[in-house]
Amino acid sequence: MTQFLSLLLNGLSLGAIYALIALGFAVIFKASEVVSFMHGSLLLFGAYAIARLSASLGFWPGVVLGVLATAGVGLLVERVLINRLRGAQVISLAILTIGVDILLVTELTRRIGSDILNVAHPWGGRNVRFGDVGITENRLIAIGVAAVLISAFFAVFKFSDWGVAMRAAAEDGETAALMGIRLGRVSALAWVVAGALAAVAGLFLVGSPTPGVQPGLQAVALRAFPAAILGGLDSTGGALVGGLVIGITETFTAGYENHLLFFGRGFSAVMPYVVMILVLLVRPSGLFGTKELTRV
Amino acid sequence: MSDTASVDLAQPPASPGSQPVTSAASRRGGRGGRVLTLVLLAAAAAVLLVLPLYVDEFWLRTGFACCGAIIGAIGLNLLVGTTGQLSLAHAFFLAVGAITYVYVSGAPGGTATKIEGLELPPLVGMVLGVVVAGLAGLLFSPIAARLRGIYLGVASLGLVFIGQHLLNTLTAVTGGFNGRTAPKFSLFGFSFSDSNPDLFVAGVPFGESERLWYLGLALALAAYLFARNLLRSRPGRALQTLRDSEVAAAVMGVNVQGYKARVFMVSSMYAGLAGVLYALSIGSVAPESFALDLSVLYLAMIVLGGLGSVGGAVLGAVFVSALPLVFQQYAGSLPFVSEPGQGGVNAGQAARLLYGLAIVLVVLFEPAGLAGLLRRRPRRPTPSAGAPASAPNTPSSPLGQGSPA
């Protein structure tokens, strides 16, 4: 029972981080119809920027500047590349982000080299215990921050002008544009939000129990893909649910690995994808995604 | 939405392969143009055939690796370019082909971990590699046929990671983390290795790299012709209609699910053959060779070459797979590439940066890729004659900006 609760708590924290990434993914898709395959490298960039900046400027200024820088990269990509291809097919936009991803990852991997950069979190690697259930302080804070950010996001999404504009744009871009909504601005803001969320997720992903900034981080971030797909690409609520489901399943598979040895070691890293494929078999547009209707 | 579909259907969907180049030539010069094309083709073939007599082993090795990549790229292009189904699972199917080959034809052995092998003739291994990869594609196709566009892209991403896990876990078959060596290819007793029989042509020793070069050429040519003919036939037209509009295709009587499943299978078979050639070219297979990077590499090839164009896939494959090897070979004399361990940009990274940038530029400025660049040239002198023939190329390019709706 102790193990179960401890895994649940840890899974929840991992899921919260995934949800942050998946949320950015969903927002981008909603606002600009782009499936951003560069989200993993955006996260890697965020973690790298935070590590470098906080080493020279101190932790908090480093975090703030790092998050801003990542949001800036998102904005840059949207303004320079995505915005030019408004109306292009989803696949060509996806391929474009793959190209950007290759560039970013290659450059970051080269800069990081073989060493592991560490972010000096003020909370360090301490553990918190609730009775017998333990979790690292980093992951506990991650749950809190993710909860705050996600609620703030949903509030903004529901009540602010930008949120309304974005939902209108996602519903029917043409009509929204006719009503005076500036689609370019909506999409730019979505990329900024997604970049910032990815950087925050990166900040927690490089803290204990995971090691510091290393190129493998991108693979971890990729597991947020299944999270977004599982919930339904165009559903922000789905991203949250998907993130939690993926985080919890992954942690449980890792925790009970000894009972699942017939799948082989390290199966937990594959689990998100297995879950995703199973869900897609039953519901091709994810759990909460809009079903694609075809009108003739 | 509906009017784009009707525009696409109204025009005969010219197969966007190498055909426009030849047809443009024949339009200009009539029979003379066709003869010219044939002469050029024959000259190119002759150069490729006598090449082993003149160039050294590095170029032949690179050429063989390119042939493998060409086959894989043509296969992926059928799926992504022609049918419009984004797939990132190509690395998985390459792995299936490669592993089947080494398992079927390889010898059992291994010291720390036991490795099994059936020791059947390599030709059987190669054929089974293609067949098993095709079956794997068929197994995945119920999912592939249900999913649309981008959902398929991400679902196929999962296949790569599952494949990685299997490669690392099924040690008896795959050799596990360290991989296993690939058996040399042989055909009815003729071994594609340095000896048995010893062979000299015009005083040049024909070793492994020379023999493999011809094998690669033959297989790549066969793969090219098969794909080109497929695209010009009824199924090819059906696949292109599927890409342009599934609804329109269904209304015209195309079995949407069936064609999607079958093109997935054919594409996987191509990948399987590419995997076998990959194993032969490297001499061994290891899990890390078949990671997501490889899928992205293949996607880069077909995007750079031009989606939907068989000839483009060939160009893209040669470009992307030869680039890092050439950079590596000539790292000393290239100003922007540094030797390994020197801190700067090494050969592999330089190649990655270059084709990453190339992808971005191609999507932004020339959606038809290298094939589009080549095709553009003959059109210029005869702007009036080009109207009916060149029109299908533009709307049927899947990267093209769709109507602004």
E strand or H helix at A224: helix A224-231
d(CA B167, CA A261): 16
- B contacts of A284 (beta carbons < 8 Å): 146-148, 151
Q: How far A128 CA lies from chain B's nearest CA (Å)?
A: 33
pLDDT tens sequence across B57-90 = 788 888 888 999 999 999 999 988 888 888 888 9
- Residue B314 falls inside a structural domain: yes
Q: How far B368 CA lies from chain A's nearest CA (Å)?
A: 11
Across the interface, whether the CB atoms of B401 and A85 are under 8 A apart is answered yes
User: Would you state the structure tokens that stand for residue A161, as one six-digit string?
Assistant: 């002008």
pLDDT given at position B343? 60
Across the interface, whether the CB atoms of B168 and A229 are under 8 A apart is answered no
Q: How far A124 CA lies from chain B's nearest CA (Å)?
A: 31
Q: How far A146 CA lies from chain B's nearest CA (Å)?
A: 25
Across the interface, whether the CB atoms of A225 and B157 are under 8 A apart is answered yes
pLDDT tens sequence across B307-361 = 888 888 888 898 888 888 888 777 767 766 666 555 667 777 888 888 889 888 8
Is residue B231 within 8 A of residue B207, CB to CB? The reply is no
One-letter amino acid for residue B65 of the chain: A
pLDDT given at position B268? 93
> Cβ-count burial of B163 within 10 angstroms (0-12 exposed, 13-18 middle, 19+ buried)?
buried
Mean pLDDT (chain B, rounded)? 77
d(CA B23, CA B319): 25
Q: Chain B interface, mutation test: which of A102, A111, A271, A294, most B Cβ atoms within 10 Å?
A: A102
Q: Give this complex's ipTM.
A: 0.84
pLDDT tens sequence across A275-296 = 888 888 888 788 887 776 666 6
Q: Which of A106, A233, A270 sits opposite B353 (nearest CB)?
A: A106
- A contacts of B156 (beta carbons < 8 Å): none
The phi, psi pair for A119, rounded to 5°, reads -95, 125
Q: Which of B143, B153, B292 sits opposite A94 (nearest CB)?
A: B153
d(CA A66, CA A195): 10
A267 and chain B in contact, CB less than 8 A: yes
Q: How many CB atoms are located within 10 Å of the residue A263 CB?
A: 16
pLDDT given at position B327? 80
d(CA A37, CA A101): 7
The phi, psi pair for A15, rounded to 5°, reads -60, -40
B150 and chain A in contact, CB less than 8 A: yes
Q: Is the peptide bond before A284 cis (omega within 30 degrees of 0)?
A: no
Q: What average pLDDT does the segment B371-379 reach?
A: 70
Across the interface, whether the CB atoms of B405 and A265 are under 8 A apart is answered no
Q: Is B139 left (phi over 0), alpha (psi -120 to 50) or beta?
A: alpha
Q: What average pLDDT does the segment A102-107 reach?
A: 90
Across the interface, whether the CB atoms of A99 and B356 are under 8 A apart is answered yes
A266 and chain B in contact, CB less than 8 A: yes
Question: Does B12 have pLDDT greater than 60?
Answer: no
One-letter amino acid for residue A181 of the chain: I
Range of the domain at B166: 2-396
Is residue A63 within 8 A of residue A50, CB to CB? The reply is yes
Q: Chain B interface, mutation test: which of A98, A222, A294, most B Cβ atoms within 10 Å?
A: A98
- A contacts of B401 (beta carbons < 8 Å): 85, 87-89
A226 and chain B in contact, CB less than 8 A: yes
Q: Chain A interface, mutation test: which of B151, B323, B396, most A Cβ atoms within 10 Å?
A: B151
| Position A45 confidence tier, pLDDT thresholds 50, 70, 90 | very high
Strand partners, B109: B115
β-pairing verdict for B200-201 and A127-130: unpaired
pLDDT given at position B51? 76
Q: Which of A89, A267, A281 sits opposite B165 (nearest CB)?
A: A267
**First and final C-alpha spacing in chain A:** 55
SS3 category, B205: strand
SS3 category, B44: helix
Q: What average pLDDT does the segment A37-52 reach?
A: 90
Across the interface, whether the CB atoms of B349 and A106 are under 8 A apart is answered yes
pLDDT given at position B2? 38
Q: Which of A89, A90, A110 sits opposite B349 (nearest CB)?
A: A110
> Cβ-count burial of B330 within 10 angstroms (0-12 exposed, 13-18 middle, 19+ buried)?
exposed
- Residue B12 falls inside a structural domain: yes
The phi, psi pair for A213, rounded to 5°, reads -70, 120
B155 and chain A in contact, CB less than 8 A: yes
B277-304 burial, b at 16+ Cβ within 10 Å, e below that, comes to bbbbbbeebbbebbbbebbbbbbbbbbb
Name the DSSP class of A135: E
pLDDT tens sequence across A239-254 = 899 999 999 998 888 8
- Residue B219 falls inside a structural domain: yes
Across the interface, whether the CB atoms of A233 and B150 are under 8 A apart is answered yes
d(CA B321, CA B291): 16
- Residue B117 falls inside a structural domain: yes
Strand partners, A128: A135
- Residue B405 falls inside a structural domain: no
Across the interface, whether the CB atoms of A92 and B80 are under 8 A apart is answered no
Residue tagged 């020279």 (tokens):
A56
- Residue B154 falls inside a structural domain: yes
d(CA B213, CA B63): 7
Residues across chain B: 405
Q: What average pLDDT does the segment B261-279 reach?
A: 91
B365 and chain A in contact, CB less than 8 A: no
Is residue A41 within 8 A of residue A89, CB to CB? The reply is no
Q: How far A123 CA lies from chain B's nearest CA (Å)?
A: 33
Angle between helices A137-159 and A236-255 in degrees, nearest 10: 160
A152 and chain B in contact, CB less than 8 A: no
pLDDT tens sequence across A113-139 = 777 777 878 777 778 888 778 788 888
User: Would you state the structure tokens that stand for residue B304, as one six-digit string?
Assistant: 């750079």
Distances (CA, A) of B24 to B32, B43, B380: 12, 20, 11
pLDDT given at position B338? 64
A80 and chain B in contact, CB less than 8 A: no
HSE, side-chain direction, 13 A CA sphere, residue A232: 16
Q: Domain boundaries in chain A?
A: 2-213
B367 and chain A in contact, CB less than 8 A: yes
d(CA B46, CA B63): 15
B185-190, long-range: CB within 8 Å, 24+ apart, which pairs? B185/B122, B185/B123, B185/B126, B185/B212, B185/B215, B185/B280, B186/B121, B186/B122, B186/B123, B187/B122, B187/B123, B188/B123
E-strand ranges in B228-372 read: 284-285
Strand partners, B180: B285
d(CA B271, CA B133): 7
Question: Does B404 have pLDDT greater than 70?
Answer: no
A88 and chain B in contact, CB less than 8 A: yes
Distances (CA, A) of B145 to A8, A92, B261: 36, 20, 6
Residue tagged 């936009």 (tokens):
A93
| Position B8 confidence tier, pLDDT thresholds 50, 70, 90 | very low
Domain count of the fold of chain B = 1
Across the interface, whether the CB atoms of A284 and B151 are under 8 A apart is answered yes
> Cβ-count burial of A141 within 10 angstroms (0-12 exposed, 13-18 middle, 19+ buried)?
middle
Residue tagged 């993926």 (tokens):
A246
How many A/B residue pairs have CB atoms within 8 Å?
150
d(CA B251, CA A60): 60
Q: What is the pTM of this model?
A: 0.82
Residues 180-239 of B with CB under 8 A from A: none
Q: Which of A112-126, B105-119, B207-221 has the highest mean predicted lDDT (pLDDT)?
A: B207-221
A277 and chain B in contact, CB less than 8 A: yes
d(CA B80, CA A88): 16
Of A81-90, A225-234, B33-42, B181-190, where does mean pLDDT reach its minimum?
B181-190
Q: How far A231 CA lies from chain B's nearest CA (Å)?
A: 12
Across the interface, whether the CB atoms of B168 and A95 are under 8 A apart is answered no
